[in-house]
Amino acid sequence: MDLESVIYKNSFKDGSWKTVLTLAYQSLGVVYGDLSTSPLYVYKSTFAEDIQHSETNEEIYGVLSFVFWTLTLVPLLKYVFIVLRADDNGEGGTFALYSLLCRHAQVGLLPNVQLADEELTEYTKDGTVPIDKKNVGLGLKSVFEKHKVLQRVLLVLALIGTCMVIGDGVLTPAISVFSAVSGLELSMSKEQHRYVEVPIACVILIFLFALQHYGTHCVGFLFAPVVLTWLLCISCIGMYNILHWNPHVYEALSPYYMFKFLKKTQRGGWMSLGGILLCITGSEAMFADLGHFSQLSIKIAFTFLVYPSLILAYMGQAAYLSKHHTIESDYRIGFYVSVPEKIRWPVLAIAILQAVVGSQAIITGTFSIIKQCSAMGCFPKVKIIHTSSKVHGQIYIPEINWCLMLLCLAITVGFRDTKRMGNASGLAVITVMLVTTCLMSLVIVLCWHKSIFLAICFIFFFGSIEALYFSASLIKFLEGAWVPIALSLTFLIVMYVWHFGTLKKYEFDVQNKVSINWLLGLGPTLGIVRVRGIGLIHTELVSGIPAIFSHFVTNLPAFHQVVIFLCVKSVPVPHVRPEERFLVGRVGPKEYRLYRCIARYGYRDFHKDDIEFEKDLICSIAEFIRSDSSESNQGFESFEDDTKMAVVGTSASNSEGIRMCEDDNKNSQMKDCIEMRVVKSPEIVRKRVRFVVPDSPEIDLGAREELQELMQAREGGMAFIMGHSYVKAKRGSSWIKKVVINYGYDFLRRNSRGPTYALSIPHASILEVGMVYHV
């Protein structure tokens, strides 16, 4: 199921009804897998302990009323009609809201931000609304921009929501699979069931995580049919139970029954809300997975299929339970007891498949959000494997996968019941929704430029509902709710320590960068022998000369004839178009052959880690040389400001630009090529490197010589030069900073991956030089 192929085709998403309906069908397997699984455990978790099912049916009717209005107000009203409109160029999720705020209010904490980033197409594509100068939002914007504390609070808020999503990635597979397998309880005694349920659930979970490295595309085509079959199944069973047992159950949809429920059950009813809120687990996926589909397709799928199916399922279970009060024990109040006995086994099989699909969706989403955190400098670099060469965005992170599996197994074996699992999952879900509500209220004022009164109404109405559920979940801290808090706190510490250390390291680089006057004093040869080849120096700086370069020049007897300062940076947009990928400029005069290249990626972009990145990089330098040749030579007056850079796209996106060809045939000819002879040795035959130069505009002799040198250097090979940093807290720092930098950040740095583009480079081509950073 090719989901990611539509990412760069936002204009086509809503092009035709056929396309919209196809996307709506595909969204069933990815977006609604978790939400559709909730009927398996909502009633069971609600009646686990706090309330009892009585002859008056006030409890079951009250729960049904709460479920109906919760599903109506939160997923339908809040997400479908409001939150989905706050997309970031078609992308959704916590980071999309944070990205919008970073761009509109300048509250981002990414260190290497440039004014050129604001000229990106997607940076301003979301459109601007005429701003009323009297709008209170302008004052709020200035407050956020002036106070770093508020910016950090906003970052922590976004990270809390992200950490809870990761925690949900641990809890959802456990509760979904465990609840699906619990259908076996009706065919055996409780003692036998206790020893069968947990092992089967663990086997399914191990199988699920073991298949992750194959990618979702291998079984993705089954996702939508499984969810569709499940939704039709539970809606038909619900309709049967309504007609057969209690056709008047629809009366319980009245809000009056919520009042009667709370009046009778009081504190027990309030605590049972922690189980009721499980009916909206997975609602956040409608917004988080928006980038794969379109607003209209997600709205159609939920409004016309998922929502009515879930309502019928919950009404059917309530209708059955309203006529059955002599149930043996509370653990039998669940989904399967309301399923007709003749079809119970087929439904069990479909439920297990549905649980796997719902778990797969949240696991894939966890991989995606960790990739986004890493791109935004809030998570250590991890190994990211792209499981599909054709479908963009399908990724697999081995370290995270096995951590999730171990945590899922620990929760399944440790809890052994849906009650505590439900308490844990409920707190994670409602926390994410509270974070979304808070960020959304800021988006209404700062990005949409609406009245602050409207934002207050939004946060008061939806925040009150979610705060009620949050309090009911938090009160069960010792009964399982501590798990998401512990998980999110662990991930939050990791994220903030990494972000803090990265920020301090960048500040040290900025303070210790080398002056351009030092470079000019060395002359074109840099005071050393310039040998054939390209030296690619990795740096986080977007301007100035990194201190590490002075170490090379002063300690090495020779250096490469062409030097490129490469910065791979993330910008607060989901995608950077290929034609805007690189910023290229010079460092010093032309004859120095020093270039700066900044490769820009969005937080959802795919980072190339193969030879294609090298080709794009060299072609971007060559295209810059060609375009720069049309300008007058300003000698030593043009290099004083090395922030003057040109936007250059990838070779594939620029059909009229320079292209690089490599082959092993020395006799091959190509029109309009700048060529050089093949250099042979008895043992090695080097590839011929040629630049295909367009007919116009004409380039001058100096540019041709510069291109010739670049070709010679490319044939000589490329060396990747990276600083191996040792970050230490400087003397006089507080003990907290010393612990964070000397132990926390140092441990994460030593166990994280290097730059993405360097993963496939032979070790012989990498030169690392150690440096100590006192921050």
Digit-coded pLDDT (tens) for 689-727 = 666 666 555 667 778 888 888 888 888 888 888 777 778
What pLDDT does residue 337 have?
A: 87
Helix pair angle (148-181, 398-415), 10° resolution: 60
Confidence of residue 483 (pLDDT cuts 50, 70, 90): very high
336-395: pLDDT as tens digits? 888 998 898 899 999 999 988 888 878 888 888 888 888 888 888 888 887 766 555 567
Q: What angle do CA 463, 466, 467 make, to 5 degrees?
A: 80
84-104: pLDDT as tens digits? 998 887 788 888 888 888 888
| Distance from C-alpha of 590 to C-alpha of 592, rounded to nearest angstrom | 5
Residues 281-302 have a mean pLDDT of 87
What pLDDT does residue 2 have?
A: 37
Whether the pLDDT of residue 54 is over 50: the answer is yes
Residues 574-601 have a mean pLDDT of 88
What pLDDT does residue 619 have?
A: 87
Q: What angle do CA 417, 421, 427 make, to 5 degrees?
A: 155
Q: Residue 721 CA to chain centroid, in angstroms?
A: 29
What pLDDT does residue 265 have?
A: 86
Q: What percent of the chain has pLDDT over 90?
A: 26
User: What pTM does this model have?
Assistant: 0.83
403-457: pLDDT as tens digits? 999 999 999 999 888 888 888 999 999 999 999 999 999 999 888 888 889 999 9
Q: Of 475-489, 601-615, 723-737, where does the model show the most confidence?
A: 475-489
| Distance from C-alpha of 775 to C-alpha of 773, rounded to nearest angstrom | 6
What pLDDT does residue 680 have?
A: 38
CA distances to 30, 35, 93, 203, 392 from 4, rounded to whole Å, are 12, 21, 16, 30, 5
Residues 113-132 have a mean pLDDT of 64
What pLDDT does residue 388 have?
A: 64
Q: What percent of the chain has pLDDT over 70?
A: 81
401-416: pLDDT as tens digits? 999 999 999 999 998 8
What pLDDT does residue 693 have?
A: 64
Structure tokens at 477: 């801290």
Question: Mean pLDDT score of the chain, rounded to an integer?
Answer: 80
Whether the pLDDT of residue 12 is over 50: the answer is no
Residues 222-239 have a mean pLDDT of 92
Residues 264-273 have a mean pLDDT of 88
Whether the pLDDT of residue 770 is over 80: the answer is no
Helix pair angle (256-265, 58-71), 10° resolution: 130
